[in-house]
Amino acid sequence: MIDFITDNWFYINGLLLISIGSQAQSSSYAVLITRVKQWQWESFWLVQGIFAWLVFPYIGAAISLPAGASLWELYAGENVLMPIVFGILWGVGGLTFGLSMRYLGVALGQSIALGMCSACGTMLPALMGEGTASTVTLSICVAVMLAGVAVIGYAGKLRELSMSEEERRKAIRDFAFSKGLLVAVIAGVMSACFKLGLNAGNPIKEAGMTEFGVHPLLALSPVILLVTVGGFVTNVGYCLFCNAKNKTFSDYFCVKPATFISNILFCALSGLLWYLQFFTLGVGEYFLKDYPVALAFSWSILMAQNVIFSIMWGLILKEWKGSGRKAGIVLVAGMLVLIFSLILPKLI
C-alpha cells in the first residue's frame, strides 16, 4: 500500500487538489443560494457572478505574477480574443446550468449538465489534435464516466416515478423532468466552451511561464480570468434583462441593511467557492503533467467529482427523500462508476 501511494503520489495529489475545488463548487450552489434572502434568482446570480467571474479570478491572476509584472503586459503580447469569445459562449451554458438545477434539483441537474460538459470538454480538444493522449484511450475513460452519469440519470427517473406530484414539488419547487433534461443537455454542451477557452489561452499560459516567471502551479490563472470575463458579459446582460422584465431592480435597494450585507457576504462566499474549482484545476494539472491520459482527462475528473459532491449535497438536502429503495441503489451504483472513472486513466 505504501509503495502504491509513493509511486502514485503526484497523481493522488492532483486528484485531491481537484477534489477540493469540486467540493467547493458544489457547496457554492447547494448551500449558499438558500442563504440569500428577498432576492430573486437573477439578482443573486448577478451579484455572485461579480465575485465569481471578475473579483476572485482577477485576484487569482494578479497573484500568479511575480512582483513588478503586469497582467496587461502579459495580455498585450498575446491574442486574448478567443478565450473571451469562448467565455461568452460558456456564459450561455452557465445560464442554462442554473435553470437545470431549478427544474431538476441540485443532484440531478448538475449531474446531467456536468456529464455533457465533461464529455464535450474532454473529447473536442482531443479530436482537434491537442495533447498527446490517445483519442481511443480518452474515449474509453469518457465512456465510463458517462455511463456513471447515465446510471445517475436513471436513478433520477426512478425517483420521479416513485414520488407523488406533491412530493416532487416539496423537494424541488419547479420540478419538470423533460424540460429540465433538455436544459441540462444544452447547459452541458455550451459549458464545455470553458475548457475550449482555457485551451485557446495556452499561448498566454506559456508566455506567463517563459517570459514573466509565472510558476507552473499558477500559470492557468491569467487564462481563467479571460474566460470568466467573457462569461460575465453574457450573464450580466441576461440578469439585467430579467431585472427589467420582472421589475426586480428593487431587490438591491429595498431590503434591510442587515439583509443586504448578509446577501453580499453569501454571494461573495459563493463566488469564491465557485472560482476555486478552476483555480485548483490549474494547480492539480501541474501534478498530472507526467500522466498524459490523466492530464487530458483532467476536465472530466473535475466534472465527475462535481457530480459526486452534487449528489452528496442532494442527499443532505433531502432531494431524494421518498424516492424509494431501488432509486437509492441505482444512485449509489452510478456514483461508484464515477469514482472508478477517476482512477481509470492511471490503470490503462
- pLDDT tens digits for 40-57? 888 988 999 999 999 999
Could you report the per-residue pLDDT of 63-113, keeping only the tens digit for each? 999 888 889 999 987 789 999 999 999 998 877 877 776 677 666 666 677
Residue 253 lies in a domain: yes
Residue type for 25, please? Q
DSSP 8-state symbol, 214? -
Alpha-carbon distances, residue 30 vs 12, 53, 106, 133, 344 (angstroms): 26, 19, 6, 35, 28
Residue 3 lies in a domain: no
CA distance 17 to 277: 9
Residue 242 lies in a domain: yes
CA distance 289 to 244: 47
Residue 243 lies in a domain: yes
Residue 8 lies in a domain: no
pTM here?
Answer: 0.85
pLDDT at 124 over 90: no
- The answer to whether residues 306 and 274 touch, using CB atoms and an 8 Å cutoff, is no
Residue 35 lies in a domain: no
Count the domains in the chain: 1
pLDDT at 2 over 90: no
pLDDT confidence of residue 174:
63
Residue 27 lies in a domain: no
Selection from 310, 308, 302 nearest residue 285 by Cα: 302
Q: Which domain holds residue 47?
A: 41-347
Residue 108 lies in a domain: yes
- The answer to whether residues 233 and 16 touch, using CB atoms and an 8 Å cutoff, is no
Bigger pLDDT: 143 vs 112? 143
